[in-house]
Chain A
């Protein structure tokens, strides 16, 4: 903290001794909703002086004194504003931008659309336009932010339908997913088929794959930064939809006009409600079977504007998945439960120290909980009673302060400090039966994760821009501390108008790990901290590429190559599982003994041609990549391709607005098949005999030698699943009615009914001819989703 203030002091004094300069600063909002706009371009015409508004809509530009300056504020989808102001003193200039197209309902645009990719020093970053998410066809009509991210180059999906994200050879747990500053641990519902984010409540989604700015830390592979809308400050608005499996509703409006507003957004699935009468009708007499599944999400946000200097935001997220089954008859009662969920709350305070220094302080609470319960009771034979409870919990309390400092138009400095206390309760087991009573009290592990960072986006010349940063990460667990400096660097050199070359380097450390031995997003995956035995994961990545804007066609083109090396990545040891209740001592095996650390390499190239606006928008992405792992304890120490190593990955996304009333959309994806391990043959494995000397001949004179049937797998992950490809199509019909606008949406998932592999299994087919029984062992491919049509009704008022 001391270091931070010293740095700050130097920066401030530096600017004082320079020539006379004044500052123009203020907030940029949207007309009507008063929603603060992120990433609005503010620049002087015919010069390279420019800045953009930050996450809270604040901008600041310091220039030498002059009679007057002309400022241009521009943001895609909004009318451009040109302001001429006298510049003999520092000025506060708040701007209201009006949406350009009044025919369309007011939608908050994604950030930085106007900012040209060739202008920024940042690379490997993708902004996802939130309104595009709503137009892209989705599985069962459920719009999903993370699944749209999977359509970007460098970002891959795992198995069919899963919302897990694999960035540049990283794992699904190596993504820092933050919603309003709070970390989201398990971002999926329904075993990974849906993500926890409700698009209606989101203002912006940004994914960083490399060249990470120093303000982010704690995960190896990517940062997914999501910001919730604040809520309309002028009048009440609503938005919602009725779909095949869930319905959702968002309400936003002012509490005190112009001063404070709220937003509340909820979603719940209703498969269980629909199925209930069918299940009940099957039960008869005294026995009763019940079961069901649902999930819900609730996002809420409140904000209050205390004036120019101070603003306060409170936001919360609550989401739960619940699965339950119950069967009852005259003598016994059997119940099973499975539930998991995230909840988080963030209190944020914006403070403007002066026109050049903006600060945000956040207090964050986050909780992830996963539980299994199984109960059996027998009214006649109480010795059969059985209770099993398993719980895994993570509780986080965090505090963080970030400072944005704008000393002059060439520098934009960010500094901050963050500390989080994680409390892990990885596995609390309660088991009661007549044979065994086990009450393994949850042994909480408290750990401290903290970081201090500083970064400067520095325009060295008009053609050369860098972002220099350093993050110091500190982690303390079980009296063992890890201190890791993480240098960050990215630079852009302008080669020509609208063309720049970029390069970046970033080092990242990850102190919390997800143990997953399923490869799909099951809630049984266990989050664990770095400990005395388990070291933090580390990655170093270099990336280089070019960025080209084609303003006439509204196109942007980026081509990037990357090389990443990962240390201490974790995997389960061969044959281990997270919860082994077989054998009485099995629970004593702690997760630390079940994991093993290794090394990974990932490299490849990415191509993205994108058009964010216009009647025809969308993108084409292609990734060529290699990922290899090497663990001393896995695959006998030989290198291998992990499951999600993907040589080729293509995605094509198109959105065509035929008329204000009809929107057509389609996506096509192609990906190399997953690398899998399949048995090729089986044989008897003989272990050393415990009687290596001969037995007394009169009693047993045969040599007994024990064996068990085992499979030969060949090299690990040497079998490639069939390639994955799929076409989705969607059509939306919009209509403005008296009080609201409605949209009917029809979509088809997997339009040409491709049978994509979900998993493979060896199966036997038995046939009998006469006395000969023939067993044919065959490999079967199991697919999950055929062509799946869906429709939904959405409304806005």
Chain B
């Protein structure tokens, strides 16, 4: 009894020293099952000239990857091998509600399934089904093209030029408004591009000659307004909706087919500014919003994980439709 307290004290100190690591690897049998899935992305509108389908695969997060380009994961007693990258051997079929269908062939150069829209015109109000069948299985998704479009009622464009001499970069700041389509839930997105006359250097003998060419520059939105790129008319049915302020910069460099960059100069003529309002379906909105949210929270360990929306049965990704109003402005 007398030494009881002392013995306990010493015992506790040795106990503290005997501690081992507090980090343990969870055994494979207790891991969440992550199987490899087909991932399909396609966005259709009646206005586009081409129908594109991107088909890739997901890779289970837990598993083994080697620098030789293959990986495997152990699920139960099975070892599953997989490779990443695009899927090139699938049968991709787009069909409408009236039993019309088209097989979309694979284009190796661009690593997408691609077809000219004139061969299978996309119609407003029609419901489409997209299927893809590959070694990993068959996936399917459908979407309906919104009937109406929302015309642009007002726009604002201003330009700034930064830099000097040859390196001057002309930038368009663009925003616009449209009237919400009444008595229905709507989801909107916007796009902008500028078709500008640029002076492109071309070799003529030992010399470079600047030739004017039309080049399309696509717009972008800065991080602080990009989440407004996908809007819903919730609580503002029939009201005026405004796009976030987008930017189109006429960069002084352009990429050629061979991957090389060439310096270009602004040609000084008027440009054609294209403003588009996409009246999208809900799939489009849900998917893009979730990708945006995922983008905003990265590296924040305290933020809630963002699940990415998918409407692809047995797979991942998004098949969505929109119907757009287009306004071209010479500026």
Contacts and interface: CB of A to CB of B under 8 A. Distances in A.
B215 interface: yes
Nearest to A571: B304
B305 interface: yes
A594 B159 CA distance: 34
Interface in A624-647: 635-636
Contacts of A577: 297, 300, 302-303
A710 interface: yes
Q: Of A685, A689, A691, which is in contact with the most chain B CB atoms at under 10 Å from its CB? A: A685
B54 A705 contact: yes
A575 B309 CA distance: 13
B95 to A, nearest CB: 21
B303 A576 contact: yes
Interface string A746-788: 1010000101000010100000000011111111111110111
Q: Of B11, B26, B223, which is in contact with the most chain A CB atoms at under 10 Å from its CB? A: B26
A712 B308 contact: yes
A286 interface: no
B41 A696 contact: no
A700 B255 contact: yes
B79 interface: no
Interface string B179-200: 0000000000101110000001
Given A696-B215, A712-B34, A787-B19, A781 B26 contact: yes
Q: Of A677, A687, A772, which is in contact with the most chain B CB atoms at under 10 Å from its CB? A: A687
A306 interface: no
Contact of A733 (B5, B9, B109): B5
Interface residues of A, number: 82
Given A684-B39, A699-B256, A779-B31, A575 B306 contact: yes
Interface stretch (B127-135, B141-149, B161-169, B285-293): B285-293
Given A517-B303, A518-B302, A690-B218, A791 B59 contact: no
A92 to B, nearest CB: 51
Contacts of A67: none
A672 to B, nearest CB: 15
Contacts of B302: 517-518, 522, 577
Given A733-B5, A748-B15, A777-B61, A685 B308 contact: yes
Contact of A698 (B25, B193, B213, B222): B213
Q: Of A576, A692, A760, which is in contact with the most chain B CB atoms at under 10 Å from its CB? A: A692
A731 interface: yes
Given A688-B284, A711-B305, A789 B26 contact: no
B213 A680 contact: no
A710 B294 contact: yes
Interface string A574-612: 111100101111100000000000000000000000000
A768 to B, nearest CB: 9
B32 A719 contact: yes
A783 B24 CA distance: 8
Contact of A731 (B8, B193, B214, B224): B8
A584 B224 contact: yes
Contact of B36 (A517, A574, A636, A681): A681
Contacts of A575: 293-294, 296-297, 303-304, 306
A574 B290 contact: yes
A695 interface: yes
A703 B112 contact: yes
B304 A517 contact: yes
A190 to B, nearest CB: 18
B330 interface: no
A682 B54 contact: no
Interface stretch (B62-70, B98-106, B150-158, B265-273): B62-70
Interface in B193-238: 193, 200, 213-216, 218-220, 222-225
Nearest to A767: B64
Interface in A77-107: none
Nearest to A578: B302
B23 A636 contact: no
A292 interface: no
B56 A699 contact: no
Contact of A681 (B25, B34, B225, B296): B34
Interface residues of B, number: 95
B250 to A, nearest CB: 13
Contacts of B20: 786
B12 to A, nearest CB: 3
Nearest to B49: A693
B37 A684 contact: no
Given A517-B303, A574-B290, A700-B256, A791 B9 contact: yes
A699 B296 CA distance: 33
A773 B12 contact: no
B316 to A, nearest CB: 6
A690 B193 contact: yes
A313 interface: no
Contacts of B112: 703, 705
A718 B31 CA distance: 12
B304 A680 contact: no
A780 B26 CA distance: 6
A616 interface: no
A118 to B, nearest CB: 42
Interface in B1-25: 4-5, 8-9, 11-13, 15-16, 18-20, 22-25
Given A583-B223, A677-B305, A733-B4, A789 B12 contact: yes
Contact of B58 (A682, A722, A776, A789): A682
A778 B12 contact: no
Interface in B304-318: 304-309, 316-317
A713 interface: yes
Contacts of B64: 774-777
A583 B192 CA distance: 22
Interface string A695-733: 110111111010010111110101100100000000101
A748 B192 CA distance: 66
Contact of A690 (B45, B59, B191, B309): B191
A679 interface: yes
B306 A789 contact: no
B303 A686 contact: no
Contact of B288 (A517, A635, A687, A746): A687
Nearest to A715: B307
Interface string A657-688: 00000000000000000000111111111111
A702 B35 CA distance: 32
A683 B59 contact: yes
A572 interface: yes
A783 B23 contact: yes
A775 B49 CA distance: 43
Interface in A8-39: none
B9 A779 contact: no
A37 B4 CA distance: 38
B185 to A, nearest CB: 13
B93 interface: no
A703 B113 CA distance: 11
Nearest to A765: B25
A694 interface: yes
B304 A772 contact: no
A40 interface: no
20 contacts: A574-B290, A576-B304, A577-B297, A585-B225, A635-B307, A679-B305, A680-B33, A681-B61, A684-B56, A688-B43, A693-B216, A696-B213, A698-B213, A710-B291, A744-B5, A746-B8, A777-B61, A780-B23, A787-B19, A791-B8
Closest 5 pairs (CB-CB, A-B): A680-B34, A575-B293, A789-B12, A683-B58, A585-B224
Interface of B: 4-5, 8-9, 11-13, 15-16, 18-20, 22-26, 30-37, 39, 41, 43, 45, 47-50, 52, 54, 56-68, 109-110, 112, 114, 189, 191-193, 200, 213-216, 218-220, 222-225, 254-257, 278, 284, 286, 288, 290-291, 293-297, 300, 302-309, 316-317, 320
Given A574-B307, A778-B62, 6 more contacts: A636-B309, A683-B37, A693-B50, A703-B110, A748-B12, A780-B23
